[in-house]
Amino acid sequence: MTTVAARAVGTEADRVEGLEKVTGRARYAFEHPIEDMVYAAPVPSVVARGEVIAVDVAEALTFPGVIDVLWHGNAPKLERVGNAELHVLQSPRVAYRGQYIAVVIAKTLEEAREAALRVGVEYAVERHDVGLRADHPRLYRPERVNPDLPADVQQGDPDTALAAAPVTVDAVYRTPAEHNNPMEPHATVARWDAEGLTLYDSTQGATSLRDAVAPLFGIEPSSVRVIAPHVGGGFGAKGEPHPPVVLAALAARRTGRPVKLAVTRQQMFSVTGYRTPTIQRVRLGAHPDGHLTAIVHDAVEQSSTIHEFAEQTTTPTRIMYAAPNRRTTHRLVRLDVPTPSWMRAPGEAPGMFALESAMDELAAACGLDPIELRIRNEPEVDPETGLPFSSRNLVACLRDGARRFGWADRDPAPGVRRRGRLLIGTGVAASTYPVYRSACQATARAEPGGIFTVRIAAADIGTGARTVLTQIAADVLRVPLGRVRVAIGDSALPRASLAGGSSGTASWGTAVTRACEALRDELDRRGGTPSTGVTVSVDTTEENGEPSRFARHAFGAQFAEVGVDRDTGEARVRRLLGVFAVGRVLNPKTARSQFIGGMTMGLSMALLEESVLDREFGDYLNHDLAQYHVAACADVPAVEAYWVEESDPHLNPMGSKGIGEIGIVGTAAAVANAVHHATGIRVRDLPIRLDKLLT
Ligand code: MOS
């Protein structure tokens, strides 16, 4: 294959669907106009554990507009395959508060919601356990943690090394449950016809949703079509399928009518996943000069009783720093809670809060600058596998960030910089995210009039994926951007991996590159005639299957400045600056948005986000945007994102690493470290609320 000079890749191309979005023509899941539509309103469980012993639908059925009420006694039967969370209305068991017990289908949304309040449910209530504790008697070691990694890894003898270390840090860090709040709540329009099931859905992956839903209904994936041209944010919440999409499909099957189901913001807090709370103990052993001799990172997390979700909290610690003796572990407890799921950098975000806070504590203990401490512990190769890094530019990010941020003249003493009522501090933390890539298919076609169409079931959840794929295709085809159409967001297109694990562009872009290369070669072979109507198809399964001889990870450095009000304890971020090493940046405009979005979400994680569990009722009680605080514009100061040049030939044809998640990683630690620098108070328990700073 020949290489082509990049013309579109690397430029700040505008979003190709930008005009459609700002003029309101872009259709999101709930907006697809379908004839004969009816509406579904779910009935959530009001107990956290027990059994439904009776459902009284009589009153609801008398309400105007009501077409039907489904519950486990009359719902169509599903195949009990895959994630049990999706076996909606199949059993009287209640596994968590908010679990769907019934659904009302009515002619209007208002009628459905009104009648849903009149469904009488009688429960045999059992005592629930929703309390995560590090000494919970039912803690266990999962077989694997996500995406498919060993739960525990050990090298050397960390216990002996810790006991012998001249300098040690031993601290427990906690992160709360957090909920994704994309602008567009989850929504589905489900329709059955002679061909099968069509789902207009807010999903991060049309192919994977199709493949998950089909077996539940005992039908072939080819009988399910998922259409999702535009998705209003996901962050992982729309990555795994959740109960609402199955409920909509059940309701449509039973009534024979197309059914619309939009999850309310409140119900998103129980049925669409969340970030598990964590309790993490980090132990570091070091020489007085800062060289680490031992790293131990143990995480405790939760899952539900019906599905194991084992987050990979301590896995970034496996690759971050050199130390001959090391151990990372994960323990889970299955509680009467909703099943956790993915939330931007699941694992890395909470895990790096703990590790990078501990590194800051070690820097103070050794009397070393925290950047210098990290540089001294930079590993030559991946400390876990011994593989060389395909590229690793953490040090370059730290140095470039230090220069841009103005780190050089920083006084390390905590609690001494005053500006009026404010105590000012600065902090730094490293970030990292693995490089993933999945197999995909794609087609490329030469159309009449010099237009080229690329087809792949990729997803653009607001990231700019459609635009970047258009740039990639245009360069390989050696044509201007305007001559390329990229069709995505439909499972009828060639199968694609989902927008998750920061792997979308790497996975889809590889398939798009290969398809466009093959088409170009085919057109060249046919000679100069207008060869329209030529289509080629590719599959990257084989190419993707080769195991890498390299450890592949993106890195970054996060810098924060905070001001803490001495009288009120209120902490505010004044500046955030990130420098990232992510391979080649394909579109600086959309990439910058991803970094800034991730960093903003990290700021939000540091200071605001916390899903508070109501122990008595067993669910998350602050389940709306008035009570669950997400950073708003006034909370977000100047956020600057930069990247270092990084040329890495061991990734994919574009030379790119993922950029969707690394922006959130390390941000919370940088803020917490800055708060410590400002106040002298080490907050190890997120979020950093004012009550933790009033002493
Ligand atoms: Mo991302 S949390 O892998 O969708």
pLDDT digits (tens, 9 = 90+) for 613-637: 999 999 999 999 999 999 999 999 8
> Which segments of 177-323 are extended strands (E)?
187-193, 196-201, 224-227, 259-262, 278-286, 292-304
pLDDT, residue 529, reads: 64
Residue 592 and residue 357: Cα distance in Å, rounded? Answer: 26
pLDDT, residue 531, reads: 66
pLDDT, residue 695, reads: 77
Instruction: List beta partners, residue 177.
Output: 611
pLDDT digits (tens, 9 = 90+) for 245-273: 999 999 999 999 999 999 999 999 999 99
pLDDT, residue 441, reads: 98
pTM reported for the whole predicted model: 0.97
For residue 247, what are the CA distances in angstroms to 94, 104, 295? 16, 11, 46
Residue 540 and residue 558: Cα distance in Å, rounded? Answer: 35
Residue 598 in contact with ligand 1 by CB distance below 6 A? no
What is the b/e burial string over 135-169, where b = at least 16 CB atoms within 10 angstroms of the residue's CB?
Answer: ebeebeebeebbeebbbebebeebeebbeebebbb
Residue 347 in contact with ligand 1 by CB distance below 6 A? no
pLDDT digits (tens, 9 = 90+) for 269-304: 999 999 999 999 999 999 999 999 999 999 999 999
pLDDT confidence bin for 532, thresholds 50/70/90 = confident
> Which segments of 530-570 are extended strands (E)?
534-539, 553-565
pLDDT digits (tens, 9 = 90+) for 22-36: 999 999 999 999 999
Active site residue 126: no
The helix (run of H) or strand (run of E) holding residue 402 is: helix 394-405
Residue 182 in contact with ligand 1 by CB distance below 6 A? no
List the structure tokens of 174: 């906690």
Cβ atoms of 598 and 662 closer than 8 Å: yes
pLDDT, residue 1, reads: 44
CA nearest to 660, candidates 577, 558, 568, 554: 554
Residue 462 in contact with ligand 1 by CB distance below 6 A? no
pLDDT digits (tens, 9 = 90+) for 411-441: 999 999 999 999 999 999 999 999 999 999 9
Does the structure show a pLDDT above 50 at 2? no
Find the 499 Cα to ligand 1 centroid distance in Å.
7
Ligand 1 atom nearest to 501, measured from its CA: 3
Residue 571 and residue 607: Cα distance in Å, rounded? Answer: 8
Residue 165 and residue 668: Cα distance in Å, rounded? Answer: 28
pLDDT, residue 528, reads: 67
Burial bucket for residue 621 (CB in 10 Å: 0-12, 13-18, 19+): middle
Mean pLDDT of the chain: 96
pLDDT digits (tens, 9 = 90+) for 54-91: 999 999 999 999 999 999 999 999 999 999 999 999 99
For residue 407, what are the CA distances in angstroms to 78, 638, 645? 59, 17, 21
Cβ atoms of 129 and 336 closer than 8 Å: yes
For residue 38, what are the CA distances in angstroms to 255, 271, 353, 660? 9, 21, 46, 36
Mean pLDDT on 228-252: 98
Full set of structural domains in the chain with CATH: 18-28+438-544 (3.30.365.10), 32-127+183-233+238-271 (3.30.365.10), 144-178+274-435+552-692 (3.30.365.10)
pLDDT, residue 448, reads: 86
Does the structure show a pLDDT above 90 at 179? yes
Cβ atoms of 477 and 27 closer than 8 Å: no
Mean pLDDT on 533-539: 95
Does the structure show a pLDDT above 80 at 473? yes
Find the 343 Cα to ligand 1 centroid distance in Å.
6
Find the 660 Cα to ligand 1 centroid distance in Å.
8
User: Poorest-confidence range of 251-255, 447-451, 492-496, 673-677?
Assistant: 447-451
pLDDT confidence bin for 5, thresholds 50/70/90 = low
